[in-house]
Homo-oligomer: A and B are copies of this chain.
């Protein structure tokens, strides 16, 4: 900047004021032009560090995730957060810890020493997290999970509402014998599993349908679970006309089971998934009706809250999981 000043024949202060001051015509047109020319000629670029050093806060937000970046699932969450940050002129300093607490601590220290404007602390799936204390030093938001101690506010999918929406969609299509293949509720205790099950139960009860214990199955999210439970359900004496699967991958397993047993989807069996995995759900035959995890919305909202700064403690903001209608649901056939 001193070089620019010299080239333009003015003082460094003048250059700074010309370049930054939105406040009217403090300087003559001539001076402004000379400064601008010098800037262009010398290819001057401001040094962000000097600016931060003086101003206090950097134009960066920290994004710390466990496996978020590597997960095909949630990569979009980073993109959304970054988009939102950029709209406010901020860049994202991202770290994928891979679950390594030491790396996590070290990179948080580094981020804080870079005076980030705030931190988004994200997880690959909806769970209860032990959030590092150090995040208290700066506006921080937990993303796609919740703070176990309730000190930080968080943004997460509304699993219960999602389970309710999925089940009600099947009920609305005329189904009454609706099975659930879900992640294990007791074993995992995950909000995702617990919430979806609760939503399923609520929808059934609200519509006067009994939750048949034989129709509620638990797995671990992968397609073999879907395959086995669906096979068992479809070969039982009293078989369901629809299955709500807690993950798209288990839904895929159910598809394979149906194909193996000669049941046709959706005419013999309706299926609703969960996750709207873009590499899977739209490509199944028939394309899978499922619920979308609102990654974009959550990523944006988390940055919103960070920028807002002064958040009420520990509030959990639940975001709606929209139903993505495709071709795996129809009316049940009349059955004996």
Contact = CB atoms under 8 A, between A and B. Distances in A.
A122 interface: no
Given A70-B76, A75-B70, A75-B72, A49 B115 contact: yes
Interface in A37-51: 45-50
Of A72, A112, A252, the most chain B CB neighbours within 10 A belong to: A72
Given A82-B94, A92-B95, A113-B48, A69 B69 contact: yes
Contact of A96 (B45, B47, B78, B114): B78
A267 interface: no
A95 B103 contact: no
Contacts of A112: 45
A32 to B, nearest CB: 21
Nearest to A59: B110
A90 to B, nearest CB: 9
Tallying the copies of this chain within the complex gives: 2
B283 A223 contact: yes
B96 A79 contact: yes
A108 B114 CA distance: 19
A313 to B, nearest CB: 21
A256 interface: yes
A214 interface: no
B75 A113 contact: no
Contacts of A45: 109, 112-113
A15 B8 CA distance: 41
Nearest to A78: B69
Given A49-B115, A52-B49, A82 B69 contact: yes
> What 8 A-B pairs have minimum CB-CB distances, sorted nearest first?
A72-B72, A49-B49, A48-B113, A75-B75, A49-B52, A70-B79, A48-B114, A49-B53
Given A45-B112, A49-B50, A49-B114, 20 more contacts: A48-B110, A48-B115, A49-B49, A59-B110, A69-B69, A71-B75, A72-B73, A72-B278, A72-B279, A82-B96, A83-B96, A86-B103, A86-B107, A91-B95, A92-B94, A93-B93, A94-B94, A249-B283, A252-B283, A279-B279
7 contacts: A48-B110, A49-B58, A71-B75, A72-B279, A82-B96, A91-B95, A91-B114
